Structure 1
Amino acid sequence: MAGYDALLIVSFGGPEKPEDVMPFLSNVVRGRGVPRERLLEVEAHYQGFGGVSPINQQCRDLIEALRPEVDLPIYWGNRNWHPYLADTLRTMAADGVTRAAAFITAAYSSYSSCRQYLDDIARARAEVPGAPEIVRLRHYYGHPGFIAAMTDHTRAAIDRLPEEHRDGARLVFTAHSIPVSMAATSGPSGGAYEAQLRTAAALVADGRPWDLVWQSRSGPPQVPWLEPDVCDHLAALRAAGTEAVVLVPIGFVSDHMEVVYDLDTEAAAVARDLGMHLTRAATAGTHPRFVAMVGELLAEPEPAACPATCCPAPRRPVHAAQAAQGGREGQE
């Protein structure tokens, strides 16, 4: 396994009880000047689910599913909530780990879904004397294991529609919107984020009509973000005569808050108001092919490191409202 002596699962993190929510949000947006009213708005989303994000438990579930597949000790560290990356690296160093592979729970290239994770890993390593070397496993948006998992979940979602609507249902793939400027600089030569999502969506759709739309925008209106928004797109489809839609959250690997609120709550309510039949495919989660994929990635030759110029941080100051994007689970 390319000389690794451990596997590190790297995720965003999320609150696990009501009193965690505001400290978690404050931690995510620290130093960005996000207005308290925006934090209170996002906090209400979490409190509507008992103050618990599904993301941490889903990391635990993935780790348990991986244990029979991976002949390495498995560790878990988050960017924004317990267990923090630095704390996990301290444990790894104490356990004698010297070189670990990192599986990041985000499949695509962009600042938010890749570079920011690498920067946080580097900062955590700098805090920990004797921290192990961390090698990020490659992007896996087109890996057969990810595609197989999403294809199975999409077929299952189609089958949950009334039988008379299954053949005509439109697949609507969703991913986290990001500023157009960030999308344009994603990947070594730019434009990778959207291109990679379109590649994955086309593979899952397998010839069926489909669209790629965006969700979870939180930036200021004067800053261009990727469009159309999923809810706006549902309205446009209904106006054009579409009666049934399957939402496929291709941009995410677990059913965290971005999925259960923005899709299962907001988008589902829009579809009901429109009189549209709607189901939502599960994310890859602990699908056996997705789990097996992690072991397959570990067996590959060590991936080349990203160029320093790849997926750069946004150059302009982050607007307060835009910064609140991080208040939920981002692009994982």
Structure 2
Amino acid sequence: MPDERAHPYDALLLLSFGGPEGPDDVVPFLENVTRGRGIPRERLEEVGQHYFLFDGISPINAQNRALLAALRADFQDNGLDLPVYWGNRNWAPYLTDTLREMVADGRRRVLVLATSAYASYSGCRQYRENLADALSTLTGEGVAGEDLPRVDKLRHYFNHPGFVEPMTEGVLAALEKLPAEVRRDAHLAFTTHSIPTAAADTSGPVEAHGDGGAYVAQHLDVARLIADRVARETGVERPWRLVYQSRSGAPHIPWLEPDICDHLEERHGSGAPAVVMIPIGFVSDHMEVLYDLDTEALAKAAELGLPAVRSATVGADPRFVAGIRELVLERAATERGAAPDRCALGDLGPSHDLCPVGCCPARAPRPAAAGADSTFA
């Protein structure tokens, strides 16, 4: 019998991006990521050099294992009898294999935690398409009717205290790493993954579409929250800006700007004494953080002679893990017809439980699960 507090759900699925775990995995992993785009193998080998700097190992899988263990321990410590599984989009354990395992274990109502806190096609809709693809594969294998799991996705958690509070503490700790003579007037650079402006403009529900869409609005809301809290803690209001990193698209396609390295040059040119880089767009210290910030951006700062540090992501921080448990219980109560408190900080309020039609659309329509337009009940 499922835990009554989690009812009607009988499992939580940690759904993530995946990454290579050795040199031989790098190009096959990148082929999975770019499947259907016609990118030559030699270009993938060039991109893969980032991974080879770290022995061909992406840190994301180890970080997901740590989060998985922390969730299981937190659930046990709080008497929540809900098994937690893990599946990836692009590398083992693959999502379809994990759902197949869940079917064999008798799981029929699955709540999904995606390792992306914000609304966007790649951070939400694409995961919902992955779920639909996996469920379609299971259907083709003969899993149907009551044996086919129903999947629901946890709401966006960018403004949940469990996400915001560890981020804020990370900024305060990073400031302490700066030399005392530049600490007081250090600038804050909130970073997130750049995406095409067209994708940003159509992120979130239809009513949120427009310049930057929900993607930019949500990041700005979190950045303001953290900047204000840091000001209260330190007694200093620091200049801050939302900037972007990890662009990977064709040069002729507009993506969100400015890039973090360009921003560091601009800050140095304007006389900023130091910069704290705050990766609010990322849940853990995976490759985009370790390479694009800790390697490229810090090298640019050193070249400029600009003191710079990077604050921590939430990773498996106990407050983040507890926040996920709260979101699980909140969604379960809602499914049972209750009206639980929906905790959210900032001006935007709690996000929707069910992605509406037209939310973060793909360039070409594809089936998706866990939304109002779900092809699976």
Query: TM-score range, shorter-chain basis?
Result: over 0.9
1:281 corresponds in structure 2 to: 311
Q: Tell me the TM-score normalized by structure 2.
A: 0.82
2:195 corresponds in structure 1 to: 178
The alignment status of 1:248 with 2:262, answered yes or no, reads: no
Q: Map of 1:1-332 to 2, 5 A cutoff?
A: 1-70=6-75, 71=80, 72-128=82-138, 129=143, 130-188=147-205, 189=207, 190=209, 191-206=213-228, 207=231, 208=237, 209-300=239-330, 301-302=334-335, 304-314=353-363
1:88-124 C-alpha deviation (Å, 9 max, x unpaired): 0011010011101100000000101100001101111
- Give, in angstroms, the shift of residue 315 of structure 1: 5.2
Q: Is the 8 A contact 1:14 1:55 kept in 2?
A: yes
Question: % of aligned pairs identical?
Answer: 57
The separation in 2 between residues aligned to 1:154 and 1:32, in whole angstroms, is 38
Listed as ranges, the gaps of 5+ residues in structure 2 are: 1-5, 232-236, 336-351, 366-377
Over 4 Å off, 4+ runs: none
- Answer with 35-44 or 195-204: which moved more: 35-44
Structure with the greater relative contact order (CA < 8 A, sep ≥ 6): 1 or 2?
1
CA RMSD of aligned residues (A): 1.3
Q: Is the 8 A contact 1:90 1:131 kept in 2?
A: no
The separation in 2 between residues aligned to 1:51 and 1:23, in whole angstroms, is 12
Listed as ranges, the gaps of 5+ residues in structure 1 are: 317-332
1:155-174 C-alpha deviation (Å, 9 max, x unpaired): 11111111222111111000
- Give, in angstroms, the shift of residue 82 of structure 1: 0.2
Greater Rg by CA: 2
Paired AA for residue 268 in structure 1: L
1:5-64 C-alpha deviation (Å, 9 max, x unpaired): 111000000000111111111111112111333211211110110000000000000011
The separation in 2 between residues aligned to 1:66 and 1:91, in whole angstroms, is 19
- Give, in angstroms, the shift of residue 75 of structure 1: 0.1
Paired AA for residue 63 in structure 1: L
- Give, in angstroms, the shift of residue 251 of structure 1: 0.4
Paired AA for residue 181 in structure 2: E
